[in-house]
Chain A
Amino acid sequence: MAYLESYRNRSAADDLAPPRVRWNARALIRWAITLTALIAVWELVTRLRLIHPLWLPAPSVVAQKFAEMLASGVIVRQTTSTLTAVLLGVLMGGLPGAVLGLAMGASPRLRAIADPIVAAFHALPKIALLPLVIVAFGVGETPRIVISALGAFFPLLINGMAGARNIAPVYFEVSRNYGASRAKTFARVILPGSLPSLITGLRLAANTSLLLTIAAEMVLPRSGLGAVIWRAWETMRIEELYVGLIVAATLGISIAAISGVLLRRFAPWHGQP
């Protein structure tokens, strides 16, 4: 249907200028309505004392706390700390993961050797490796980043592999018939053909990294959103805990939005007939 609509709305001018993705105001309004309704229900539930405010403080109370923590700079500082660990992890774990995944997707032999090993390590709960990581790297900044990198490695590996395997064989035939070198085949077929899958992998990787980083911060000393959440729980300042959760949720939304933008920007052909 969407295809039909876009087709019907085409004009001669559209045909001459590459179509551009338009910002969808209607979707944004719908989304805002849902959010407002959710907050209204939340406020109502706490006002009516249906849930004890110790477990669920009113959104207005949380908002006030949020403003306070924003003004004091705590939110920005701790979010930056968490995000840095996530970004470093995605870079250090995700990049090798993507490269290995593409190679495994393109080479059945490598896949046969490496896939069982990957499957075994993927199944391990990464956070359970934290004690080992602490033993190996001490209690500084490093363990958080290592755990974050482990989280990013597997989603990008698996999506890179799936992406390369899903490229239609005819594109490899074109590449062979036209005498493309291995490097050219990688640059012109394997990498761009896997890009949509890699971008989705990036979203999963960033999310997994975020989860693991926050989890690690609850155990490690005093930094990041995990520390904010854990300290709030230890001192029974539940509204602070909710502020931490809201920030984490916002990061999740941002990750999804960024991957959507990347997909439209770098893989405009994706999902087209």
Chain B
Amino acid sequence: MNPVQDAALNCIQVSHQFAGQAGQVIALAGVSFSVAAGEFVCIVRPSGCGKTTLLKMIAGLGQPSAGQILIPQPAKNTPKTAMVFQEQALLPWLNLLDNAAFGLETRGVAKPARQTQAQNFLNAAGIGQFARHYPHQLSTGMRQRGAIARAFLSGAGMLLMDEPFSALDAQTRLLMQEELLRIWKDHRKTVVFVTHDIEEAVLLGDRVLVMSGRPGRIIEDIRVPLARPRGLQDRENPEVRQLAWHIWKVIETEARRMI
């Protein structure tokens, strides 16, 4: 596969293997896809390792065993990607404001400027009054909103989200999906979002990439024909339901095998 010109991300035949207890484990085998600038792409797969590995390699936190990951060089002083981690990854010793402003700080933005910017973002996200709280004083949902704020504020063109809502309860998760749609509508960043919640993938993504279990490869690339802006009511849209059911059928056998 050749890289797509002007794409925000090109993954070309990306493979990854590591030494497990029972010999070599092939986590990813020849994963190829590209993401256009400003596109929201969701990756769905049955549980199992590989997807965090893929995101971390895109984030530059690991090297693929084979293949290439191409991201255009961003403007000077901005990171290529900003990751929202699955676990709680706000720095426990910084308050919410300083955490949200962390990406601005690493870019060398002066303190008053970055704090104003972060405060405005937190206000818009409805957690402005908690700016001086430390992560341990916040609910899981608020912490994850802080992590999303940090990613959006970093100036990175592409955001990588690794099951950011998987630790949240079902209701908070719905509200966070709504919140993410709202923020994304205002900022239009390229997003690669990994989840195993099929409805979430269809509701959020312009495209859904369905991956197989070990070894991970992309088995289907589906465009979501749903107009934007989207909201929670779209969960009840027949098109969404149909698409979600289709995706479920694609991964069902594998998901059953994993139990």
Contacts and interface: CB of A to CB of B under 8 A. Distances in A.
Nearest to B90: A174
Contact of B134 (A174, A175, A178, A268): A268
A172 to B, nearest CB: 9
Given A268-B134, A272-B136, A178 B89 contact: no
B91 A189 contact: yes
A18 B136 CA distance: 11
Contacts of B60: 176-177
Contacts of B133: 18
B11 to A, nearest CB: 17
Contact of A178 (B79, B93, B94, B129): B79
Contact of A177 (B81, B94, B137): B81
A179 B76 CA distance: 12
A253 interface: no
Interface residues of A, number: 26
Interface in A55-92: none
A180 interface: yes
B132 interface: yes
A170 interface: yes
Interface string B85-104: 10101011110000000110
B135 interface: yes
Contacts of A192: 91, 93-94
Interface residues of B, number: 30
B130 to A, nearest CB: 8
A105 interface: no
B94 A188 contact: yes
Contact of B85 (A16, A18, A174, A176): A174
A181 B102 CA distance: 12
A16 to B, nearest CB: 6
A176 B85 CA distance: 13
A178 B132 contact: no
Contacts of B103: 178-179
A137 interface: no
Contacts of A193: 93
Contacts of A170: 85, 87, 89
A171 B89 contact: yes
A188 B83 CA distance: 18
A177 B93 contact: no
A19 to B, nearest CB: 7
Contacts of B246: none
12 contacts: A18-B134, A19-B137, A174-B89, A174-B91, A175-B106, A176-B61, A177-B79, A178-B106, A188-B91, A188-B102, A267-B93, A269-B135
Interface of A: 15-16, 18-19, 170-171, 173-181, 184, 188-189, 192-193, 195, 267-269, 272-273
